[in-house]
Amino acid sequence: MATCSITFQPAKKHGVFPRGISFRDAALEVGILIESPCGGLGSCGKCKVIIPEGAGGLTASEYEQLTQNERNKNVRLACQATVREDATCIIPQESQVLPEQISIEGIQGHFPLQPDVQAVTLSLSKPALSDKYFLHEAVQEQLTQSGHQKVTPSLEALSRLQELAERSPDGISVILYQDEILEITSGGIEQSLYGVAIDIGTTTVVLKMLDLRTGEVLGVQSAENQQKRFGADVISRLEFVGSQSDGLQYLHYEILEQLNVSLETLSNEANINQEQIYAAVITGNTVMQHLFLGINPKTLASAPYYPVFQGPVVARSSDLGLNLHSNAYFYTSPNLASFVGGDITSVLTVLDLEKSEQPQLVVDIGTNGEIVLGNKERLICASSPAGPAWEGANIKWGMRATRGAIERAKIKDNQLVLRTIGNVEPVGICGSGLIDLVAEFRRTGLIDESGRILNPNEHHDLSVPKGAKILPRENGTVDIAIANLHIENPILLTQKDIREVQLAKGAITSGIQMLLQEFGIGVSELSAIFIAGGFGNHVKGNDAVDIGLLPGIDPEKIHFIGNAALTGAEAILLSKEARIKAEQLSRMVEYVEISGRPEFQQIFVDSMTFPSLDK
């Protein structure tokens, strides 16, 4: 897959991304939120950025939203402009979303810069002949004076200590990970200390390189999880492990190899030596963490569904063959429950549910919905298998969010307006486009509360928007042609597709309803809903409410927080305080098993219907 480099100013953040990604989505990957009230449809004109070169051609939305003077000054809409070559993207202040504008303390969290990796410079004096003197103990004494407790040297560091002490007139520098000496080098020079935060998602893998001394982001790289060739979702990968004698080894090697290639690319882009990367924090769901560690997740494949470990797991990178400093450590964020993973712990780390007076809800919408509800009194979580519809699976024209996928749909002035990734001819429908289409046709009345697509010939108060066409089927149902209408095989939204959406959204909605019931509150008592994850960033709040994916709540209370799993991993990497908070949260959050409860089936069935809408 071709990649391009993007630098965002004035944030001074940098990343490597697949060619064809929108600048809005690339900004989200590096933790930059750009104003886009329309959800990236290109209709609000709020996401104005300046891109001198490296972007694709202007879209129809940009010609409509931007003045000629703006176009002459290389102003673009971040949701419309796609990267074609290496580029710089300048984000004006009026297009930036500040933390206070989304009613949380900040996606990045507020933690002091206090990484577990530190460098301490020491000056060692020669002992007198009569002294009882040990070189390491002399080092330990000075470290104690600088605030470090009893430390343990690695064998490699201990073997170099005498030589460095003898030939280093400016003293020595001791590089520590928590209470262990990783390396001892010559003093008198500023040590370079780097770390990497890694989010291993089922669909995508994202790495962020950071300077541990300053907290500066040096680069970001994102790509599809290469394990996909062994299964598109968690369930299929569990099946692969169970059915193949060497299935675990294949999946473990695949992710490890992908991470090492990405680490090399990031290091080259940032012009740093991989031997200067002393720590990594890995987050992901429970299955992804097991596969990364090479631990068989088969106990998650069948009832009673339990993981091997909660974590955190702390081990040397060399134990796995992760290409960092030879003595570097990696840390996996602790899991919450069987299918509520460390990625959600990372999300909670940069939020403050445990301090909130009012109940708040966190939802990660994906193949497996992960849900947390709570306040300072109590935190509870659950998982609900939504299935792969959001990834395009089981949808007739479904596809992943790649070039040519319909990602946005809107009915405006009785005209169906579609937008595809890359602004090319449509070839299919991805998850966000699917939600848009269902929501829009639901609002027009073409889809009723039960999920049935109605035939306007039988309901004369209904009309079909221009750009769409109703196609009756022999079994009495109808489908909606939405693109390529004039060819023999148009792109369709079928009745079966609607049922798949109902199953997927019903799983999420019923999980939310069960947690609300467990907590003893109604929807109106929620002060906020936070939507996490890459897919969630492409869902519009009013669409989610109108199709019943999220409970009926004021869309103003819905906040899309980007890849908060990655920013949580970043916080843990950069701050001991964040790491301690993550570990405390993993012990505080209660798990609620919802599928075994007698009322679940009825709540699930009820959740499959669409809410009534005011005309």
Q: What pLDDT, on the 0 to 100 scale, is given for residue 188?
A: 62
Q: What is the mean pLDDT of residues 439-464?
A: 90
Confidence of residue 99 (pLDDT cuts 50, 70, 90): very low
| Alpha carbon distance 49, 89 (integer Å) | 7
User: Dihedral of the CA atoms 6, 420, 59, 25 (nearest 10)?
Assistant: -30
Q: What is the mean pLDDT of residues 401-416?
A: 88
Distances (CA, A) of 475 to 76, 471, 472, 478, 495: 48, 12, 8, 9, 11
pLDDT per residue as tens digits for the range 504-532: 999 999 999 999 999 999 999 999 999 98
Take residue 489 and report the two structure tokens written for it.
């095989």
Is the pTM value of this prediction over 0.85?
no
Counting residues of the chain whose pLDDT is more than 90, the rounded percentage is 53
* Domains, in order of start, for the chain: 3-97 (3.10.20.30), 117-186 (3.10.20.880), 342-388+501-608 (3.30.420.40), 397-493 (no CATH)
Q: What pLDDT, on the 0 to 100 scale, is given for residue 105?
A: 28
Nearest to residue 289, comparing CAs of 311, 257, 258?
311
pLDDT per residue as tens digits for the range 500-511: 999 999 999 999
pLDDT per residue as tens digits for the range 273-331: 999 999 999 999 999 999 999 999 999 998 888 999 999 999 999 999 999 998 999 99
Q: What is the mean pLDDT of residues 538-557?
A: 86
**The pLDDT of residue 382 is above 70:** yes
Counting residues of the chain whose pLDDT is more than 70, the rounded percentage is 96
Q: What is the mean pLDDT of residues 575-579?
A: 95
pLDDT per residue as tens digits for the range 471-480: 988 888 899 9
pLDDT per residue as tens digits for the range 202-216: 888 999 999 999 988
Q: What pLDDT, on the 0 to 100 scale, is given for residue 38?
A: 65
pLDDT per residue as tens digits for the range 141-150: 888 887 787 7
Q: What pLDDT, on the 0 to 100 scale, is given for residue 324?
A: 96
Q: What is the mean pLDDT of residues 583-589?
A: 96
How many Cα atoms within 13 Å fall on the side-chain side of residue 216?
Answer: 12
Q: What is the mean pLDDT of residues 391-408?
A: 85
Q: What is the mean pLDDT of residues 61-79?
A: 92
Contact predicate 560/550, CB 8 Å: no
End-to-end CA distance of the chain: 46
**The pLDDT of residue 101 is above 80:** no
pLDDT per residue as tens digits for the range 22-34: 898 888 777 677 8
Q: What is the mean pLDDT of residues 23-51?
A: 79
| Alpha carbon distance 451, 502 (integer Å) | 7
Query: Is the Cα torsion angle 251, 252, 255, 261 positive or negative in sign?
Result: negative
138-152, 278-292, 340-354, 455-469, range with the lowest pLDDT:
138-152
- Mean pLDDT, rounded, of the chain: 87
**The pLDDT of residue 195 is above 80:** yes
| Alpha carbon distance 240, 380 (integer Å) | 31
Q: What pLDDT, on the 0 to 100 scale, is given for residue 346?
A: 96
pLDDT per residue as tens digits for the range 362-379: 999 877 789 999 999 999
pLDDT per residue as tens digits for the range 294-310: 999 999 998 888 999 99
Number of CB atoms found within 10 A of residue 598's CB: 6
Confidence of residue 106 (pLDDT cuts 50, 70, 90): very low
| Alpha carbon distance 14, 26 (integer Å) | 10
Q: What pLDDT, on the 0 to 100 scale, is given for residue 1?
A: 61
